[in-house]
Structure 1
Amino acid sequence: MSTPDSPPAAPWRNLYGRRLGKTLRASQQTYLAEDLTRLSPGPVDREANPERRPLDLDRLFGGREVWLEIGFGGGEHLVHQAAANPQAGIIGAEAFINGVAMLLGKIRAAGVENLAVHPDDVRDLFDVLPEASISKAFLLYPDPWPKARHHRRRFVTPDYLVPLARVMRPGAELRVATDIPDYVRQTLEQVPQHGFRLLAERPEDWLTPWDDWISTRYERKALREGRVPQYLTFRRV
Structure 2
Amino acid sequence: MASSDDPSHRPLRSFGRIKSRAIKPRQAALFDTLLPSITVPDPKAGPIDPAVLMPGAAGVWLEIGFGGGEHLAEQASRHPDVLMIGCEPFLNGVGSALRHIDERDLKNVRLHADDARDVMAALPEGSLDRVMILFPDPWHKARHNKRRLIQDETTAEVARLLKPGGMVRFVTDWKDYAEWALARFERTPGLVWQAEAADDWCVAPADHVITRYEEKKLGDTPPIFLDFVRSA
TM-score by length of 1: 0.88
Q: Equivalents in 1 of 2:28, 2:193: separation in Å? A: 41
**Who is 1:113 aligned against?**
107
Q: Equivalents in 2 of 1:152, 1:69: separation in Å? A: 21
Answer yes or no: is 1:208 the counterpart of 2:203.
yes
Structure 1: 4+ residue segments shifted above 4 A: none
Q: Taking structure 1 as reference, are residues 205 and 14 closer, same or farther at Cα in structure 2, changes over 3 Å only?
A: closer
Unaligned runs of 5+ in 1: 1-8
Answer yes or no: is 1:17 the counterpart of 2:16.
yes
- 1:18-97 to 2 correspondence within 5 Å? 18-44=17-43, 46=44, 49=45, 53-64=46-57, 65-97=59-91
Which amino acid in the other structure matches residue 35 of structure 1? L
**Is contact 1:69–1:93 with CA below 8 Å preserved after alignment?**
yes
Following TM superposition, by how much is the alpha carbon of 1:226 offset from its aligned partner in structure 2, in angstroms? 7.0
- Alpha-carbon RMSD: 1.7
> Which of the numbers 194, 197, 205 marks the counterpart of 1:199?
194
**Who is 1:218 aligned against?**
213
Following TM superposition, by how much is the alpha carbon of 1:213 offset from its aligned partner in structure 2, in angstroms? 1.6
**Is contact 1:57–1:63 with CA below 8 Å preserved after alignment?**
no
Q: Equivalents in 2 of 1:61, 1:193: separation in Å? A: 33
Which amino acid in the other structure matches residue 193 of structure 2? L
Following TM superposition, by how much is the alpha carbon of 1:85 offset from its aligned partner in structure 2, in angstroms? 0.6
Q: Deviations over 1:104-131 (max 9, x none)?
A: 0010111110000010001111121111
**Is contact 1:74–1:103 with CA below 8 Å preserved after alignment?**
yes
**Who is 1:139 aligned against?**
133
Q: Equivalents in 1 of 2:144, 2:151: separation in Å? A: 11
TM-score by length of 2: 0.90
Q: Equivalents in 1 of 2:198, 2:70: separation in Å? A: 27
Q: Equivalents in 2 of 1:233, 1:73: separation in Å? A: 20
Q: Equivalents in 2 of 1:76, 1:154: separation in Å? A: 23
Following TM superposition, by how much is the alpha carbon of 1:26 offset from its aligned partner in structure 2, in angstroms? 1.2
- What secondary structure sits across from 1:32 in the alignment? helix
**Is contact 2:173–2:220 with CA below 8 Å preserved after alignment?**
no
Number of corresponding residues? 222
Q: Equivalents in 1 of 2:17, 2:32: separation in Å? A: 20
**Is contact 1:94–1:118 with CA below 8 Å preserved after alignment?**
yes
Q: Deviations over 1:127-162 (max 9, x none)?
A: 211111011011111111111111111122123222
Q: Equivalents in 2 of 1:143, 1:151: separation in Å? A: 10
Q: Equivalents in 1 of 2:141, 2:129: separation in Å? A: 33
- What secondary structure sits across from 2:166 in the alignment? strand
Unaligned runs of 5+ in 2: none
**Is contact 1:90–1:115 with CA below 8 Å preserved after alignment?**
yes
Q: Deviations over 1:199-227 (max 9, x none)?
A: 0112232111111222111210117x773
Following TM superposition, by how much is the alpha carbon of 1:61 offset from its aligned partner in structure 2, in angstroms? 1.1
**Who is 2:121 aligned against?**
127
